[in-house]
Structure formats: C-alpha cells, structure tokens
C-alpha cells in the first residue's frame, strides 16, 4: 500500500547487514528501470502511508538530495536516527521546523531512499560501500556511518531527514520459537 505503482520489492537476508546492503545495491543497479532504492529494515514500523512517496518526492524536488530518511528513535537510545556531528537530534528540537527537510551529518539507514544517480557518482569507489569498521579500543562504527563519512569527505554529500515521515523502531521484545512475539 505504501509503495508507488510498478515497484519491485527485493528481500535480502544475508548474514551481516553490510553484505545485505551490497547485494541489494547490486540487484538495484542491474535493473535499468529502477530509479530509487529504499532501505527498509525489518524492525521499522512506518506511521504514515505517504512516507515512501514523500521521501522519493524530496529527491525529485531537489536534485542535490541523494539520500533522504524518515525519522525514528535510534538503536543507541540517544535520540533520533539523525546526527549533527556526534550528537543525535531530539524530536522536540526539530518537530516545529518550518522546512520539514533537514540536512544532517549521519543517519541510521533503516527507512531511507537513495537516488540511483548517487551510485553512478560512486561507480569508481572500491566495494563494498557498506562495511563495519573496528577502530582502536574495539570501538565499532556501523556500515551506514562508514558509508556516509566517505560520502561527506570525498563528495561533500550529506543525507537529509524529512520530519513528515515518522516510524516506530521495534526493540526489546522476545521472539518465540514459533515466531510469536512477547513484549
């Protein structure tokens, strides 16, 4: 119900989200009719039915917007899935913005649209584009953050969030062996 007509839906369940994202990108690029890639994680529950269309429209209205994400609470429990510098944004601080589209430094990519043109820009970059990075002291940087850091450093491309597109982030539940869920 949420996706535009003629949408192709591909599911991927490889071990490791970075590998899954790479596989999805490869399938996306192989489809000449595809224009936008939606990363949609299984633990995201959209609120509005217009969310995907709104994210696509954001990239069409402004050609410099290659990546646009909906907003949800992040997995670190520190605020939204959007960061300025190293600080996660808080919903209270952005909910009344005049412009619903806000450029940020990093996003969690659980509910975001990427224009195909971005991958044409990145065609000479070594693959994989998405990988976890273990830094000194065993500090880990997620695959989406390493990708976005590379985009900002080499191409001055930053993601945006759209405050009109919201979702719940499903966390802290038990999944039974029969697939049933307990909260």
The C-alpha angle with vertex 181 and arms to 176 and 183, in degrees rounded to 5, equals 120
Three-state SS for 118? helix
The C-alpha angle with vertex 12 and arms to 131 and 166, in degrees rounded to 5, equals 80
- pLDDT for 116: 96
Other C-beta atoms lying within 10 Å of the C-beta of residue 68: 26
- Flag whether the pTM goes above 0.85: yes
- pLDDT for 181: 66
**Euclidean distance between CA atoms 12 and 32, whole angstroms:** 20
Q: In which residue ranges of the chain is pLDDT below 50?
A: none
- Give the residue among 153, 116, 146 at the shortest CA–CA distance from 129: 146
- Give the residue among 24, 44, 172 at the shortest CA–CA distance from 108: 44
- pLDDT for 133: 78
**Euclidean distance between CA atoms 138 and 181, whole angstroms:** 33
- pLDDT for 152: 95
Report, in this order, helix, strand and coil percent for the chain, each rounded to 5: 30, 25, 45
- pLDDT for 170: 86
**Token pair listed for 175:** 């999944």
**Token pair listed for 29:** 């690029």
- Give the residue among 110, 111, 109 at the shortest CA–CA distance from 151: 109
**Euclidean distance between CA atoms 177 and 175, whole angstroms:** 7
- pLDDT for 175: 58
């Amino acid at each position: 119900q949420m996706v535009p007509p003629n949408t192709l839906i591909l599911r991927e369940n490889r071990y490791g989200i970075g590998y899954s994202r790479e596989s999805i990108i490869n399938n996306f690029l192989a489809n000449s009719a595809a224009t936008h890639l939606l990363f949609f994680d299984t633990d995201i529950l959209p609120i509005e039915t217009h969310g995907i269309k709104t994210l696509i429209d954001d990239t069409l209205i402004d050609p410099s917007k290659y990546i646009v994400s909906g907003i949800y609470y992040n997995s670190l429990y520190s605020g939204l899935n959007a960061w300025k510098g190293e600080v996660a944004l808080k919903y209270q601080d952005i909910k009344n913005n005049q412009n619903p589209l806000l450029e940020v430094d990093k996003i969690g990519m659980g509910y975001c649209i990427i224009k195909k043109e971005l991958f044409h820009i990145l065609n000479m970059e070594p693959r994989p584009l998405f990988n976890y990075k273990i830094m000194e002291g065993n500090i880990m940087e997620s695959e989406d953050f390493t990708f976005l850091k590379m985009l900002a450093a080499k191409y001055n491309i930053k993601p945006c969030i759209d405050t009109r597109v919201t979702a719940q982030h499903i966390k802290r539940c038990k999944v039974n062996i029969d697939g049933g869920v307990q909260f």
